[in-house]
Amino acid sequence: MHSRRTVLTTAAAAAAACATGAAPARAAGAKIGRQPDSPRSAAPAPSAEARLRGLIARMTPEEKVGQLFVMRVYGHSATDPDPDDVAANRKEIGVANAAELIDRYHVGGIIYFGWAHNTREPHQIADLSNGIQKAGTAQRVPVPLLISTDQEHGIVARIGAPATLFPGAMALGAAGSRGDARTAARIGGEELYAMGIRQDYAPDADVNVNAANPVIGVRSFGADPQAVARLVAAEVQGYQDAGVAACAKHFPGHGDTDTDSHIGLPYIHHTAEQWERLDAPPFKAAIAAGIDSIMTAHIVVPAFDPSEDPATLSRPILTGILRERLGYRGVVVTDSLGMEGVRVKYGDARAPVLALKAGVDQLLNPPDLSVAHGAVLKALREGELSWADIEAKLLRILLLKDRRGLFTNPYTTHEEVDRVVGIRRHLQQADRIAERTTTLLRNDGGVLPLSRRRENKLLVVGVDADPPSGTGGPPTTVLANTFGELGFTATALSTGLTPTQTLIDQAVAALRERDAVVVATYNVTADSPQRQLIDALLATGKPVVQLAVRNPYDIAQLGGVKAGLASYSWTDVELRAAVRVIAGQRKPTGRLPVPVMRADAPDTVLYPIGHGLSY
């Protein structure tokens, strides 16, 4: 281990090199994705702990409290963002840019968002990361920042092309391969690392046992707790093999709710026994795999906390269950403190204090940082929080940073980006993995595969759901273009989530001049106009192929459809794979990771877990 003097000297030299416009080279012998300390190794050497305790001892109270926060910031650059970004920062945070944020509040981490203009393209992301680390090492007590993002893949991806994008969790659940899950996480982690991001808020460890879940759904690997646990552990290993801290979310389990915690406070009514059987296995597997961090959920679990505080603020849940019963010793981070589920009961000043008292280490993205930072300092001055507890939390955070190599080399280079991000080998691997995820749910009368000899002229209609930034789309165009690459003549017509009668008539008229139609559906309900569209297309007598591009439950509402598939997302990599299956270029091998229930009898299974046809 390096002495504190060596570490700080290295950081200062790196900052000086960055100031000249060139990011410093990686430390000798270091490689992307291979850190010297395995996350599954024994406890850090005493010298590391002693060095970091010495660092904490040099900090002021304001600096110590700042290190507990992970904050958003607008802009593509750490020091010179666009005027609109400066205005947004001044309005929401009271600073102009990331460098000022770090100088004023000494935050321990920054989270990247597309909507905050942090993730335009890989070189820009790397430069932003370097600028943030330069600001961190320029502080009175130099401390690198833990830069994070939500790169779950599938429907949640903050960084788009040309980075490699993999199928999301439920699609990987349909493939059922631990090797594929680990490979996707490792490659995704290597690309994040190359852009200066050392923590990914993934994988999602929720078990999606509620088909009406509005916030998790396909972000989960499935409804079988043991299957989800195996894939969660595989992704933890993949990310952390790549040198990136994984983060299992959302503890104690957000899979059985019909309320979105972004806009409300969900209740989970599982008994302790049900939680142990349904929700706990993935988190236990993540802990056994050596996960660096776990994210809390803004959900109420009365069986564990009769006060009905959200789990993020619940000491019985975070300390009693996560720390004491499950034995977890890593970093605990809140879900965003700007979400309604954590704000509704106590407000923005009390929530950070109560979260720390409950057992949280990192406070993620409070709506008003000055209020949250001031409230924590006030609670420390008044004795509600103890400095010993805060310093223990800070030590856990610094040990994670140390384990991820941030004290020895927090920087990256354009050369590393070009060597790793979106390279052909990674893109090919993503396509191969995606081909194992598409699930054929129904194929009455052998409608599939479509053949250029029988159905050369295709119409593609349906939703053009807004894909994550940079992940491709719109879906109907991607589908039609991919059919075209395979030799079909395909035309796209977007009919949207709620097709009007005019659009339905246009689609029917267009189908009369073609041999078959592929319909991209999105969360079809009993009264959805998407059903009217499909009924009208079926009435033409032409082959109709339905592809669910989000939740796989659509087929239950579409009894007349003879051919139905699930891609589990509308991102390019999954849509292209689905086209190759529909066209017979690849056999469907995906199997449902969740049950599909009958629409007219919700307690009766239409297609069970494991269902999937082939040809």
Report in angstroms the alpha-carbon separations of 92 from 71, 337, 546, 568, 594: 11, 14, 44, 36, 41
Block residue for tokens 């600073």: 95
CA–CA distance, 389 with 395 (Å, rounded to integer)? 10
The SS3 assignment for 495 reads coil
| CA separation for the pair 4, 49 (Å, rounded) | 11
Please report where in the chains the tokens 């430069």 appear, as a residue.
Answer: 127
Q: How far apart are CA 473 and CA 492, in angstroms?
A: 12
Q: Where are the beta strands (DSSP E) in 488-558?
A: 489-494, 516-521, 544-548
- Beta pairing class for 563-566 and 439-443: antiparallel
- Listed in sequence order, the residues at least 6 apart from 444 whose beta carbon sits closer than 8 Å to its beta carbon are 562, 563
* Residue closest to 295 by CA, chosen among 309, 312, 316: 312
Q: Exactly one of 204, 256, 305, 335 is catalytic; which is it?
A: 335
Identity of residue 106: H
| Residues making up the chain, counted from first to last | 615
Among 37, 262, 414, 535, which one carries the catalytic annotation? 262
Spell out where 144-278 has E strands: 146-149, 151-153, 156-157, 199-200, 247-251
- What is the DSSP annotation of 236-287? HHHHHHTT-B-EEEEET--SS-SS-TTTS--B----HHHIIIIIHHHHHHHH
Asked if residue 373 has a cis previous peptide bond (ω within 30° of 0), the answer is no
Residues 230/253, Cβ–Cβ less than 8 Å: no
How close are the terminal C-alpha atoms of the chain, in Å? 57
| 389 in catalytic set | no
Token representation of residue 94: 């009271």
**H or E segment and range at residue 566:** strand 563-566
Helix axes 350-358, 387-403, angle to 10 degrees: 80
Q: Is 250 in the active site? A: no
The secondary structure element, H or E, covering residue 570 is none
- For residue 563, the tally of other CB atoms under 10 A from its CB is 24
* DSSP characters over 429-465: HHHHHHHTT-EEEEEGGG--S--TTT--EEEEEE---
Supply the residues annotated as catalytic.
262, 335
